[in-house]
A = this chain, B = another copy of it.
Amino acid sequence: MPEVATINRQVRLAERPVGLPGPATWDVVESEVPEPRDGQFVVRTAFISLDPAMRGWLNDVRSYVPPVEVGAVMRAHAVGHVVASQHPDFTVGEPVAGMFGVREYAVSDGRGVVHVDEDVAPLPTWLGALGMPGMTAYFGLFDVGRAKQGDVVVVSGAAGAVGSVVGQLAKHAGCTVIGIAGGAEKCAWVTDELGFDAAIDYKAERVGRALREHAPDGIDVYFDNVGGEILDDALARLRLGARVVICGAISGYNATEPVPGPARYLSLLVNRASMAGFIVFDYEDRYGEAAAAISEMLRDGALVAREQVTPGGIAAFGDTLNLLFAGANTGKLVLDVRD
């Protein structure tokens, strides 16, 4: 457990970005380390989560959460240790995960905070397979996508935090799994290490043709993290009654021009298929179910949880976030903010 310092570095939104966030988007500022009041505790963060959804939170538009206000500390999931507590359920020294923001010290009243068990998995995994990405994969695949044994499941962003778990959960459930990822290295990882049946390198192959080859009878579940042309390629290969799960659309998040919609959407009609979006927060009261299933798979070696932990501390947040949009990460991208 780190010693309590007197300076609390944090990243605030300086101005709303147009396109890819840049240096002007962020302010790194210092403030005092807070003191907990009654019913509160203070966390020293250790690892901060970087998520594609963060890009959406920077836009001043109606969405499923309010935008981050200009001047406010950037919203982020993080894991760390309690360093001071006036809260009966949180004791000094224990590891916790929550929406603590991009800062070294955060005050919390415990809402939405999870007790972390380092015997199950190390801290960064609690931001990945046991964090929001894992929950997202589980409920998106099984509840929204209704994946079941024998289904052909295709997932884009297959080497990412969510996609890598989606594919492994689907394999475990008896599905045939095809991943779409960028680059030979990521593709090799999802087939060789994660056990996907096939991988398509969208930077080197024509995705539509590759899907025809790997899924000759069509797709039952398409789990989409990327949007754009790849969504259209998958729509063109749906089977009767297919389910398209809209989890994200990272290919368009930094666009400065309007992004075209999926031109092949009438495949939904011809194939009596459906396309549905979801927000993982809606499943909050069932996180325990997903965490139990994923923990068991981790324990049995049936699930590989990989995090890409980057150094640099709080000040590196902006550059690290952009790795996501460059497709430079494999597995869950996490910023190390320990001293």
Which of A's residues lie within 8 Å of B, judged by CB? Answer: 62-64, 227, 232, 246-249, 258-279, 282
- 3 tightest CB-CB pairs across the interface, nearest first? A269-B277, A261-B261, A268-B277
Bound complex: CA of A261 vs CA of B265, how far in Å? 7
Bound complex: CA of A259 vs CA of B260, how far in Å? 10
Contact B266 A275 (CB under 8 A): no
On chain B, the residues within 8 Å of A267 by CB distance are: 277
Q: Which residue of B lies closest to A273 (CB)?
A: B277
Q: Which residue of B lies closest to A274 (CB)?
A: B276
- Identify A260's interface contact among B62, B64, B249, B263, CB under 8 A: B263
On chain B, the residues within 8 Å of A232 by CB distance are: 261
Contact A269 B282 (CB under 8 A): no
Chain B nearest CB from A326 CB (Å) reads: 21
Q: Which residue of B lies closest to A278 (CB)?
A: B272
On chain B, the residues within 8 Å of A260 by CB distance are: 260-261, 263
- Identify A279's interface contact among B63, B247, B258, B272, CB under 8 A: B272
Contact A275 B270 (CB under 8 A): no
Bound complex: CA of A262 vs CA of B271, how far in Å? 18
Which of A232, A266, A269, A282 has the most chain B CB atoms closer than 10 A to its own CB? A269
Q: A64-B272, A262-B265 are in contact. List 14 more A-B contacts (CB 8 A).
A: A63-B270, A64-B270, A64-B271, A258-B263, A261-B262, A261-B263, A262-B262, A265-B265, A268-B277, A269-B279, A272-B278, A274-B274, A274-B277, A275-B276
Contact A278 B282 (CB under 8 A): no
Contact B246 A265 (CB under 8 A): yes
On chain B, the residues within 8 Å of A278 by CB distance are: 269, 272
Bound complex: CA of A247 vs CA of B277, how far in Å? 20
Chain B nearest CB from A307 CB (Å) reads: 25
Contact B261 A246 (CB under 8 A): no
Q: Which residue of B lies closest to A277 (CB)?
A: B269
Q: Which residue of B lies closest to A282 (CB)?
A: B272
On chain B, the residues within 8 Å of A62 by CB distance are: 270
Bound complex: CA of A260 vs CA of B265, how far in Å? 10
On chain B, the residues within 8 Å of A272 by CB distance are: 64, 276-279, 282
Q: Which residue of B lies closest to A265 (CB)?
A: B261
Chain B nearest CB from A255 CB (Å) reads: 11
Chain B nearest CB from A66 CB (Å) reads: 12
Contact B259 A263 (CB under 8 A): yes
Bound complex: CA of A247 vs CA of B269, how far in Å? 7
Contact A261 B264 (CB under 8 A): yes
Say whether, besides A232-B261, A260-B260, A261-B264, A273 and B270 are in contact (CB < 8 Å).
no
